[in-house]
């Protein structure tokens, strides 16, 4: 039904479409534009809305409003000929498919993260995120202007996409180069239909959290190593040796002494700690501490050369532990082991 300038409820409508729900589907106005040629040239708009010169802030090219208590949306957009959309709530806009925006989006960004929507869930605790994060290269940059090239017209035109007066264009940006991130975390980089790469910065947050946790664990190790000074002093005094303050050599100068990472780690039953001691060593101890630096066990190592000790998990409660190799009164190395339930 076409009407020009017909007042209705205080409004002027160019077109009014009304459909009573007499069947299972009801459409007020349908707009369709489709190329009938095989060359796919020209333009097509299903609905073209233009609005302007009314009260500032009240010009709507397309206006959609949800009015009711049942689920639905003011505007629904889909791809792949998906016409039967079940909107699971009340939204101003609901879209199935990718949404592209070239300007600034002002929103409270909430990402769906319900466990019921996920599968193949695995902990990140063994991924060594800190090592990978250190490979990332944060940069600052400005955006380049991009252009939209008209296709299908007799005279092609190139139009800028970004408003060069906008803050998005004039301000500095901080982030990562997608190609560089792709080498470290390929699952955080996506390729857009135009071939450009995009970064999932939200997905990077758990990686950073895991890195902070690893860094905190390393700080705990260093704190605990410092706390081992007292028990080492006590052990040295009881054996008649020097205290740790009397040592002139650094840890790196203790030759031919090695302490390996326990395996398996984490462990739940037993784990093996391999070490190597030269024949010139007088006294050697394998000491186990909690993260507060309290010594829980001291094992005297009487054998020299390449050997190992088996640590039984039942002797401790699940948690994080530190172990160090004390050679002739000096701690030569410290490592972390994790006991699980």
The backbone torsions φ and ψ at residue 188, rounded to the nearest 5 degrees and listed phi first, read: -100, 5
User: Phi then psi for 255, rounded to 5 degrees?
Assistant: -85, 145
Residue 243 scores a pLDDT above 50: no
> Which H or E run includes 121?
none
Three-state SS at 142: coil
Q: What's the CA gap between 91 and 77, in Å, rounded?
A: 12
Q: Write down the pLDDT at residue 23.
A: 62
Helix (H) or strand (E) segment spanning residue 61? none
Contact criterion met (CB below 8 Å) for 210 and 124: yes
What is the model's pLDDT at position 236?
44
Cα atoms in the 13 Å half-sphere on the side-chain side of 197: 14
Tell me: the pLDDT tens digits for 101-127?
A: 888 888 888 888 899 989 999 888 777
Average pLDDT over residues 322-334: 85
Domains of the chain, earliest start first = 61-97 (no CATH), 139-198 (no CATH), 228-339 (2.60.40.1930)
What are 86-95's pLDDT values in tens digits? Answer: 999 999 999 9
Q: Which range has highest mean pLDDT (148-157, 243-252, 300-309)?
A: 300-309
CA distance 294 to 229: 11
Nearest in space to 132 (alpha carbons), one of 58, 208, 43: 208
Residue 224's pLDDT is 61
d(Cα 105, Cα 286) in Å, to the nearest integer?
58
Instruction: Determine which helix (DSSP H) or strand (DSSP E) holds 205, and give its type and residue range.
Output: helix 201-227
Q: What is the mean pLDDT of residues 267-288?
A: 91
Report phi then psi at 248, rounded to 5.
Answer: -100, -20
Mean pLDDT of the chain: 81
Residues 6+ apart with CB under 8 A from 17: 1, 27, 28, 29
Sorted by sequence, the CB contacts under 8 Å of residue 180 that are 6+ apart come out as 136, 137
CA atoms in the 13 A half-sphere facing the CB of 140? 3
Q: Among 53-62, 161-170, 192-201, 291-300, where is mean pLDDT lowest? A: 291-300
Tens-digit pLDDT profile for residues 22-49? 567 777 787 877 766 656 667 788 888 8
């Amino acid at each position: 039904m076409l009407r020009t300038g017909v007042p209705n409820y205080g409004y002027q409508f160019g077109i009014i479409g009304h459909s009573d729900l007499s069947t299972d589907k009801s459409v007020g106005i349908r707009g369709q534009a489709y190329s009938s040629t095989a060359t796919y040239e020209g333009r097509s708009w299903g609905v073209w809305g233009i609005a302007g010169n009314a009260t500032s802030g009240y010009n709507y090219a397309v206006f959609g409003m949800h009015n009711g208590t049942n689920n639905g949306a003011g505007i629904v957009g889909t791809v792949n000929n998906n016409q039967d959309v079940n909107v699971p709530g009340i939204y101003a806009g609901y879209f199935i498919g990718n949404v592209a925006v070239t300007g600034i989006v002002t929103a409270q960004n909430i990402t769906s993260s319900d466990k019921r929507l996920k599968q193949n869930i695995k902990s990140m605790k063994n991924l060594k995120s800190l090592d990978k994060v250190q490979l990332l290269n944060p940069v600052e940059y400005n955006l380049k202007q991009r252009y939209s090239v008209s296709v299908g017209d007799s005279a092609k035109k190139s139009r800028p996409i970004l408003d060069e007066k906008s803050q998005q264009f004039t301000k500095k940006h901080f982030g990562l180069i997608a190609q560089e991130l792709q080498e470290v975390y390929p699952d955080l980089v996506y390729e857009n239909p135009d071939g450009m790469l995009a970064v999932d910065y939200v997905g990077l947050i758990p990686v950073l959290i895991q890195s902070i946790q690893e860094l905190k664990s390393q700080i705990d190790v260093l704190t605990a190593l410092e706390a081992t000074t007292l028990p080492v002093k006590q052990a040295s005094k009881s054996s008649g040796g020097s205290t740790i303050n009397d040592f002139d050599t650094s840890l790196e100068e203790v030759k031919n002494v090695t302490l390996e990472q326990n395996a398996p780690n984490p462990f739940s039953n037993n784990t093996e700690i391999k070490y190597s001691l030269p024949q010139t060593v007088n006294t050697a101890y394998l000491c186990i501490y909690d993260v507060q630096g309290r010594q829980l066990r001291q094992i005297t190592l009487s054998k020299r050369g390449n050997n190992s000790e088996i640590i039984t998990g039942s002797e401790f409660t699940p948690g994080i532990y530190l172990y160090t190799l004390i050679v002739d009164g000096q701690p030569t190395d410290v490592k972390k082991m994790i006991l699980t339930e």
